[in-house]
Amino acid sequence: MLPTPNPRVIYAKVPGPGPLVAGEHLVYESAPTIDLDAPLRGGFLTKTLLLSPEPFMRERLRDPSIFTYSTPMVVGQPCRRRLRAGASPSFGEGGRQSQRLYVLYGFTPWEHYSVQPYVDARFDFASANYPSYTFDMDSMLLRPVPDPHGAFPWSRFASVLGMPGLTAFVGLESVAPDMKAYVFSGASGVGSMVVQSCKAKGLRVIASGSADSKVDFIRSLGADVAFNYKTTILASVLAEHGPLDYYWDNACGAISEYNAPAEDCYGVKTLALVFKRRLRIQGFLVSDGMSALLPRFLAEVPVLLAQGKLKSEEQLFVGLEKGIEAFLSLYDGTSKGKPVVVVDEAYA
């Protein structure tokens, strides 16, 4: 068979503080090819269908000497992020033995086809002597996901059924809020799931967004109070509709500061209120509850989605060549929903 085109998105250069630059830090390459009939030596072939850019990917684009909660990506290799669906023929040693197809979910390189496991793009976590609080992102395996059979689009596996939905599910199950909640950025992929989940638990929900159109979407999710935090004073809203029992911040306000040096980040300036008001602050990573809660998530949430009890707003970027644009839209305010990169249009 003639070589098949295998475009990819490469992590080309470690960025410093400031915005990422397309064509410098992240590069789309159209020239690579792959021989789909080459021996797989016990591996298996995946075809990328959908990809999900996530805000935390920015943290992984760093000098490996900088320790934080996640492992870095490898310069010169394709970006790695969740493959929301991949068609995976089953192979045996020495070549193709069957044509069983699975739809998989997990981390994969940003390219059309990959032979799994893809080890070149994995950071050598075992030899890096990272602190115990660091999670090895490349340890997350591909796993099958259920076929929706037309009940909802496959793209939902990049939003309400993907990392945003799972983040909300793990966070809410870990904290178990009651009474009244304020959800910052309630129109985001995570925030919209939190709003809906809190309403399903019987909570009164206050939520905010950065534009009037997002406020309208938040209202459609069932929020009791929705407002534009750029044009409305938060203190006045809470004075009228508070007090709060629970405040959900999707990323500790960090998305707007992912590209900023540490000295320019805002920080916490009201820390004394923690003891004055007897507050508890709790952070978490999705990986903290993944093993215990993922089976419940996959059993409960798709059913609610199929029944029309959950809403999701996505912005589709068709073609891997749009992958960098989709990723950068998370930070420049241009995203109009959860960005989803559609590599195979049959799964949009």
By C-alpha distance, which of 155, 159, 168, 156 is closest to 195? 168
Is residue 297, in this structure, part of any structural domain at all?
A: no
Same domain, 218 and 322: no
Is-contact 198 183, C-beta < 8 A?
yes
**Residues for the chain: how many in total?**
348
Nearest CA-CA partner of 183 in 247, 137, 267, 114: 247
Domain that holds residue 270: 163-286
Gap between the terminal Cα atoms of the chain: 28
Find, among 69, 79, 67, 112, the residue nearest to 13 by Cα: 79
Domain CATH code at residue 223: 3.40.50.720
Residue 31 is assigned to a structural domain of this protein: yes
Question: What is the tens place of the pLDDT at every residue in 88-118?
Answer: 544 444 444 455 678 888 888 999 999 988 8
User: Do 8 and 46 share a domain, yes or no?
Assistant: yes
Enter the DSSP assignment of 346. Answer: G
Instruction: Indicate if 137 and 40 belong to the same structural domain.
Output: yes
In a domain, 236, yes or no: yes
Beta strands in the chain (DSSP E): 4-5, 8-11, 26-29, 33-34, 44-51, 80-87, 91-92, 95-96, 104-109, 113-116, 143-144, 180-183, 204-209, 225-228, 246-248, 314-318, 338-342
**Host H or E run for residue 170:** helix 163-175
Tokens coding 275? 């003891």
The answer to whether residue 93 sits within a structural domain is: yes
Q: What is the pLDDT of residue 251?
A: 66
The tens digit of pLDDT for each residue in 258-310 reads: 777 777 777 788 899 999 999 998 888 888 888 899 889 989 999 999 999 99
Contact yes or no for 142/105 (Cβ under 8 A): yes
Residue 237 and residue 277 in one domain: yes
What CATH number has the domain bearing residue 329?
3.90.180.10
> Same domain for 147 and 276?
no
Is 298 inside any structural domain? no
Tell me the β-bridge partners of 208: 227
How many domains does the chain contain in total? 2
Q: Which residues of the chain have pLDDT under 50?
A: 85, 87, 89-97
Same domain, 232 and 268: yes
Whether residue 17 is contained in a domain is answered as yes
- Residue 73 has a pLDDT of 96
**Residue of 73, 251, 50, 87 lying closest to 164 (CA atoms):** 251
- Considering the domain boundaries, does residue 50 fall inside one? yes
Extract the tokens encoding 237.
């809203």
Token output for 15: 């960025």
Q: How far apart are CA 140 and CA 302, in angstroms?
A: 21
Quick one: pLDDT at residue 256?
Answer: 66
Phi-psi category of residue 308: left, alpha or beta, with phi > 0 → left and psi -120 to 50 → alpha: left
What distance lies between CA 87 and its chain's CA centroid? 20
Query: Based on the domain organization, do 144 and 217 belong to the same domain?
Result: no
Predicted TM-score of the model (pTM)? 0.89
